[in-house]
Structure 1
């Protein structure tokens, strides 16, 4: 068993001398191992310094490339896309505002006219830009007005927005399309999504009301009653609340 010895202590017996030699030998072995490890690490670093420097350079290039791409490629491309979409937006708004030949205007909005891009061109040519995302919204709405409900679901499904109104309306319109496609279960799901997105006094009661009616027709009376009661209790000043008691009565009668 090793014992604590003060500095300058000289071994007296043969056993103590052997113990000191053994300790010195062990210590030397440890330091030799550390030296060997350090030497191998240094040797590896020297041999692979080009790889290390290269890896650091790659990271720097990626970061700078990302910043440069955003500044000199992504931002100008996004701006260009919005400019190219202007005419297609005009066609859509003219159709929406009651102009004659609505179907033709919605079609022009989708496919373009007068040598200008339509929404479908914007989606294809400027993929990943805010303009392309917004073009999905316009395209889905245009297809709905053209009674093409499959494409309504497709393009509105590709649109995303955190806007308090546009987000719920896009989901609600998908619900409307599913109603037209005679897929009430899907319609109910999207109406409920629309109602729960960015809750507000306009879109929330509107889609709760639609969800309640679809649920009632599906025989999901408890779900319908919950939606109708939420309108009555939480959104009493909404237009949907004006005759909500009639629908609550229908749901209660079906329980």
Structure 2
């Protein structure tokens, strides 16, 4: 490789020596670059099969991922969503029925006439949104039937990107623990539900339940804090209308 030449004439031996040193250094740099490039080329040539195989593997994984989503995940999501319509009908009927609620809820849970219920859908389509939602319906159904352990178990499997629905599920677990007189656990879940997302509906509702539960546990400072947050931030909510009397009651109990 040609070395870099100066375009000016050096003056004196010292200057000439400096130029020669610069030329020598430049040559060394370019020679080093040549050697590095040559080694890189040799390495690539030597490992070309492995590199190509690695690239091919990445492409194959990407194509498999696209195919899996298109031909397996999407059809499963649609199928699971269609299956959910049958038990949902009985769940909705139970919400407005004056009697026979348990039988309707059981039909929703177990299914009938060859149709899946919530339990089947939750198991058979566990990786789908509809399968996840089936856990929620199953959990609420069991709570309405006062089968609290099962209700808590199914609601514990539910996880949604919908913050309000997530809060309601956590709050329902809190209700279940409260009903079986596990107030410490109830308070924990009410607090979780209140903090999922701050909004005018779920936050004051579960802050209020948390405050009431804290009163039962004689955690009066926490009760004051919960009720005060409603007073400061959610005065227009249903819970905020008479919240001052609850704050005063908690302060009185504390003293």
Whether TM exceeds 0.5 here: the answer is yes
Give the aligned partner of residue 227 of structure 1.
Answer: 226
2-structure distance, mates of 1:34, 1:245? 78
Instruction: Give the unaligned 5+ runs of structure 2.
Output: 1-5
Give the aligned partner of residue 131 of structure 2.
Answer: 132
Could you say if the C-alpha distance between residues 206 and 23 of structure 1 is closer, same or farther in structure 2, counting changes exceeding 3 Å? closer
After superposition, the CA RMSD in angstroms is: 2.9
Give the aligned partner of residue 175 of structure 1.
Answer: 174
Instruction: Give the unaligned 5+ runs of structure 1.
Output: none
Could you say what secondary structure the match of 2:72 adopts?
helix
1:19-30 counterparts in 2 under 5 A? none
- The structural deviation recorded for 1:165 is 3.0
Could you say if the C-alpha distance between residues 196 and 24 of structure 1 is closer, same or farther in structure 2, counting changes exceeding 3 Å? closer
Instruction: Return structure 1 stretches of 4+ with deviation > 4 angstroms.
Output: 5-9, 22-37
2-structure distance, mates of 1:28, 1:201? 74
- The structural deviation recorded for 1:248 is 2.0
2-structure distance, mates of 1:132, 1:230? 36
Normalised by the length of structure 1, the TM-score is 0.83
- The structural deviation recorded for 1:68 is 2.4
2-structure distance, mates of 1:62, 1:140? 37
Could you say if the C-alpha distance between residues 6 and 202 of structure 1 is closer, same or farther in structure 2, counting changes exceeding 3 Å? closer
2-structure distance, mates of 1:179, 1:100? 25
- The structural deviation recorded for 1:164 is 4.8
1-structure distance, mates of 2:192, 2:22? 74
1:7-46 counterparts in 2 under 5 A? 35-46=34-45
Could you say if the C-alpha distance between residues 73 and 26 of structure 1 is closer, same or farther in structure 2, counting changes exceeding 3 Å? same
**Count of aligned pairs between the two proteins:** 247
1-structure distance, mates of 2:130, 2:246? 41
- The structural deviation recorded for 1:33 is 5.8
2-structure distance, mates of 1:251, 1:75? 52
Give the aligned partner of residue 59 of structure 1.
Answer: 58
Give the aligned partner of residue 47 of structure 2.
Answer: 48
Point out the more displaced range, 214-223 or 100-109: 100-109
Show CA shifts across 1:139-190 (max 9, x none).
1101111212122222112212243532221111011111123221221111
Point out the more displaced range, 22-31 or 41-50: 22-31
Could you say if the C-alpha distance between residues 25 and 203 of structure 1 is closer, same or farther in structure 2, counting changes exceeding 3 Å? closer
Give the aligned partner of residue 185 of structure 1.
Answer: 184
2-structure distance, mates of 1:165, 1:27? 68
